[in-house]
Structure 1
Amino acid sequence: MPRRNLNYSEKNKVLMAKDQNLNTEQIALKFKVCKSTVHNIINNKSKVKSAIEKNKGRSKRIVDSVNFFDEKIVEYIQSMQNVGFPITSLMIREKAARLANEYKVNIVASRGWFHRFKLRCKVKHGKLHGESTSVDLAAVENFAKNMIPKIMNKYEPNMIYNLDETAIFYRQLPSKTYFISKSPHFGTKIYKERVTLALCCNSVGDKLTPMIIGKSRNPKALRGNQQHLQALDVIYQSNSAAWMTKKLFTFYLQIWHNELQKNNLKVALIVDNFAGHKIDEDLFPNIEFIWLPPGTTSYLQPLDCGIIKSFKDKYLKALFNRIFIKFEQNANPLSIVKEITIFDAVCWIAEAWSEVSIETIKNCWIHAKFRVESVEVDAVDEEMVEEKDEELLTIYNSLPEIAQDKPTLVEYLQAMTISDHNSYVCETRSL
């Protein structure tokens, strides 16, 4: 869940919600903050009430020059953010022009006005990330209240696993960059080579071997490094769409299930309702499948609550290290990217997954409401980003129509992600 700094007016509404006998979790979901934030507000009730009496309802991050007209624009931006609708400078200027006409304010909504408005209210421009606006909060609350306690009572923490897929465009650089003002800043070619990953871990930090799904059955870069590849803790499979299918999902689970049977263990596996996961459960008597309700994964799936984000950060670090080293040897950065092979990607994937810390995994499970007792943790940074751009649509349309278990467009866009270090959650600093 993204961090939100509530202003005093919103904090007062939190206190009012508490007075209406809403519990801490209900309040946190309603105001889209973590439970620790709610507790802090309640513990500082007198301070909030005092600020409200002194008419300090606005966020302290708005400078004194912000006026009533600016606040109306800020409210408009917030309303669009709340429904996940992207807005442009043109839309904001058009809204300003309409409000100026409505309130008889002598303001020309020019580019200059918009620039000054951004500085006054600290409005930032960036990419929209995540899918929280499509979350079914009622389903989240019901699952957390009724299902999670049953799972936790039935299984030990080390016997509760979560599996999810994600994808990496393994040669793609971030689409945003820092640049010197008024200097040229052009982009580079978009590299569309990708692999899909199946990642699985339990609530105490144990990780299963990741499965990498590529397009080629035996890529040239892997053929020449078979000995090294066998030493890596990865499983490589392929299909024409580089996508998880029922067949591959069954194959992956069978390897794990054989080990479970060998050690006489039974586990709970939490998965989403993606079509490729709909296999014959009877084939795996030692695995109890726990299906997440639709529209709840960004809240209830631990891998989506920061584990995959941490993994992709570490993958990009390995990619950038390669570029840094070669660049210091006077190589052209763009030629460096072209030379990256799927073998490099497999090595970095194995390394990145092994480096995801136990602490990160535990915190993400707690953040996803899998906790033995009430534990307060800070919100996990969720730039587990679903970039729904034209390039992804182009790739999706290229998937074979006859491919088994071809995903829906929504499922595809949800999985085709890569963390962008130079982008950020689109936010309005004054809200």
Structure 2
Amino acid sequence: MSSKRKRLVIRVVRKERKIVDLEQKIAIVRQYEGGQTVSFMLRKLGLSKSTISTIMKNSDRICEAVKGSAPMKSRPFNCFTNAIAVLHNGALVLWMEDQIEKHTPLSLMTIQAKARSLFEDLKKKEEYDYGQSFTASHGWFNFKMRANLHNVKLSGDSKAAEPFIEALDKLIKEGNYFPEQIFNVDETGLFWKKMPKCTYIHKEAKTRPGYKAFKDRLTVLLGGNVSGYKLKSLMIYLSENPRAFKNISKATLPVHYRANKKAWMTLAFFEDWFMNCFIPEVKSYFLEKRIPFQIFFIFQNAPGHPQYLNDLHSNVKVVFLPPNTTSILQPMDQRAIAAFKAYYLCNTFAKALSATESKTFWKDYNILHCIRNIAAGWEEVTPQRMNGIWKKILKRFVNCFKEFEKEKQLEDISNNIVQLAKEVDLEMDNEDIHQLVEDVGEELSNDDLMQLEAERVAEEERQTAQEEAAPKNFVMKEMAAAFSKINEGMQMFEKMDPNVARFSKVDRLIQDALACYKEIYNEKKKQIVQSKMDIFLK
């Protein structure tokens, strides 16, 4: 008995394909850049995840299409996108860097709140209603990756610190470095004319046009080696030629003096200091001590610090501290800078006491007086203290410098400042001194941030106009290719030259001249072999 098999009929019901026009696409791009999550847009628009992903992948082309489409509402898009770009790449990043420098804890919520605040101020400044809000959602927070600010937490990362200390010690042993050859530097902000709010100087100055001097900030770069030697300090101020420098040669100042409008460290300033101040000074120091000219330079990876320092001099090995470990590992952060600032205050008050009229002294106190007190304050930081700051990362080189002794010294300096202040009729206590020493300034306002961002953009445009060359660095692959081409060229000359002695002499001269490049190449080769070390040193 034959049986008929029932035919299974499957009806495929195709979803109606949604056509997404240019206006809808740009709306999706706007919403995403405004902080909306993909999941929210999926629910709201009824589109598939792949559709939205494709739109976001092609956002650049969509934006270009909008520019060529006059009827589209292009101005709101451009204004909104520009505002977001300022947040991603400029004002918000500046604010975060400033907070990190001041050791102010940052959280997702505080960053989101600041982003929204900045956006609203930018909106008012543009005097245009974008027609949408900026929520600074969790989805938006991936801007950190673009801004290269992955480590926004401020508490020291002890997990990263411990293996780094072991790796560092291994490197120093392998290189047979002496304590005199191991250096660290760091910069700090100094409000050079600031007084506590309770003093008559602050109250009187607040009523005068020159009150802004109390907020006048400069940058000082300080550092030294494990044995306690101190480098000549670098100072960055706002003015290239202050009035106080009349008839004064900058070369005779007790600091290396540089200037820019923000009194900030820049890549150009640091490279200039490194090659023209640091290297010559250390070279002379080594000659005096009869020590081989080899430098082990421990350094914080921060804005204004070049990443290519290893390529600048073949006798310098640069090791960067791991991210988010500055408070734990940076030697100069271990109260050396605090001691310098305390001594600076102490010297300033001592000068005020020796003046015939203290009120006149404060009124006439200028940047040249400040420089002299910076030099005097730095001079008073002892070699013992400079040796003790290395205790956390190179304990075996530290000569029994106890923590309580370090803090007692700071307390004694503070008490001395309070006593000097009283003698010049200034009512101050130890808490006032602590605030002055630790003062990193008020939080930058939104207006300050936008002004700094505008200056940054203007500076970039000026540099582009001047066709300033990008920083050079050595690349192993290209170096190997260069050596190969030089060898090929020499082989060609060898085949052509009948005079063997002449060729040998030329070949020897060229190989001797190339020795410095080969040394850099071999050093880079070692760094690649030690791949495990690179994890800690980046």
* TM-score normalised by structure 1 residue count: 0.54
Deviation at 1:284, TM superposition (A): 1.7
Distance across 1 between alignment mates of 2:357 and 2:227: 44
Contact 1:161 1:200 in 2 (8 A): yes
CA gap of 1:202–1:225, structure 2 versus 1, over 3 A, is same
Please point out which of 269, 286, 296 is paired with 2:315: 286
Question: What corresponds to 1:315 in structure 2?
Answer: 344
Question: What do residues 81-132 of structure 1 show as CA deviations (whole Å, max 9, x unaligned)?
Answer: xx979xxxxxxxxxxxxxxxxxxxxxxxxxxxxxxxxxxxxxxxxxxxxx99
Question: What corresponds to 1:346 in structure 2?
Answer: 371
CA RMSD of aligned residues (A): 3.3
Distance across 2 between alignment mates of 1:398 and 1:299: 33
CA gap of 1:279–1:144, structure 2 versus 1, over 3 A, is closer
Deviation at 1:186, TM superposition (A): 6.1
Question: What do residues 37-93 of structure 1 show as CA deviations (whole Å, max 9, x unaligned)?
Answer: xxxxxxxxxxxxxxxxxxxxxxxxxxxxxxxxxxxxxxxxxxxxxx979xxxxxxxx
Q: 1:271-282, aligned counterparts within 5 Å? A: 271-281=299-309, 282=311
Please point out which of 151, 157, 167 is paired with 2:189: 167
Distance across 1 between alignment mates of 2:296 and 2:233: 18
Distance across 2 between alignment mates of 1:317 and 1:376: 23
Equivalent AA in structure 2 for residue 371 of structure 1:
K
Distance across 1 between alignment mates of 2:312 and 2:336: 28
CA gap of 1:208–1:186, structure 2 versus 1, over 3 A, is closer
Question: What do residues 252-279 of structure 1 show as CA deviations (whole Å, max 9, x unaligned)?
Answer: 1112324556756010111101121124
For structure 2, the 5+ residue unaligned runs are 1-103, 107-151, 411-433, 461-538
Distance across 1 between alignment mates of 2:162 and 2:308: 29
Distance across 1 between alignment mates of 2:444 and 2:246: 29
Distance across 2 between alignment mates of 1:398 and 1:221: 28
Question: What corresponds to 2:155 in structure 1?
Answer: 134
Question: What do residues 157-185 of structure 1 show as CA deviations (whole Å, max 9, x unaligned)?
Answer: 110000111121111113567x9xxxxx9
Distance across 2 between alignment mates of 1:343 and 1:140: 40
Contact 1:261 1:286 in 2 (8 A): no
Structure (1 or 2) with the larger CA radius of gyration: 2
Please identify, of 394-403 and 287-296, the stretch whose mean Cα deviation from structure 2 is larger: 394-403
Q: Helix, strand or coil for the counterpart of 1:361? A: helix
Distance across 2 between alignment mates of 1:322 and 1:259: 30
Deviation at 1:325, TM superposition (A): 3.2
Contact 1:267 1:288 in 2 (8 A): yes
Distance across 1 between alignment mates of 2:198 and 2:330: 28
Deviation at 1:136, TM superposition (A): 0.9
Contact 1:152 1:372 in 2 (8 A): no
Distance across 2 between alignment mates of 1:323 and 1:394: 36
Question: What corresponds to 1:401 in structure 2?
Answer: 456
Question: What corresponds to 2:258 in structure 1?
Answer: 237
Distance across 2 between alignment mates of 1:339 and 1:299: 40
Deviation at 1:291, TM superposition (A): 0.3
Counterpart check, 1:205 vs 2:228: yes
Contact 2:238 2:261 in 1 (8 A): yes
Counterpart check, 1:268 vs 2:303: no
Distance across 1 between alignment mates of 2:166 and 2:240: 44
Please point out which of 396, 402, 422 is paired with 1:372: 396
CA gap of 1:152–1:173, structure 2 versus 1, over 3 A, is farther
Q: 1:387-398, aligned counterparts within 5 Å? A: 387=440, 389-390=442-443, 398=451
Question: What corresponds to 2:179 in structure 1?
Answer: 157
Percent identical pairs in the alignment equals 28
CA gap of 1:248–1:133, structure 2 versus 1, over 3 A, is closer
Contact 1:245 1:404 in 2 (8 A): no
Question: What do residues 328-371 of structure 1 show as CA deviations (whole Å, max 9, x unaligned)?
Answer: x3443xx53332111011111111112210111111112x3312
Equivalent AA in structure 1 for residue 370 of structure 2:
A
Question: What corresponds to 1:411 in structure 2?
Answer: none
Contact 2:388 2:401 in 1 (8 A): no
Q: Helix, strand or coil for the counterpart of 1:275? A: coil
Q: Helix, strand or coil for the counterpart of 1:402? A: helix
Distance across 2 between alignment mates of 1:270 and 1:404: 30
Q: Helix, strand or coil for the counterpart of 1:288? A: strand
Question: What do residues 268-308 of structure 1 show as CA deviations (whole Å, max 9, x unaligned)?
Answer: 11110112112433122221111011211111111100111
Deviation at 1:397, TM superposition (A): 5.5
Distance across 2 between alignment mates of 1:173 and 1:139: 39
Q: RCO higher in 1 or 2 (8 Å CA, sep ≥ 6)?
A: 1
Question: What corresponds to 1:22 in structure 2?
Answer: none
Contact 2:385 2:401 in 1 (8 A): no
Please identify, of 229-238 and 354-363, the stretch whose mean Cα deviation from structure 2 is larger: 229-238
Contact 2:197 2:203 in 1 (8 A): no
Deviation at 1:389, TM superposition (A): 2.5
- Count residues in correspondence: 265
Question: What corresponds to 1:385 in structure 2?
Answer: 438
Question: What corresponds to 1:20 in structure 2?
Answer: none
Contact 1:213 1:236 in 2 (8 A): yes
Distance across 2 between alignment mates of 1:401 and 1:241: 10
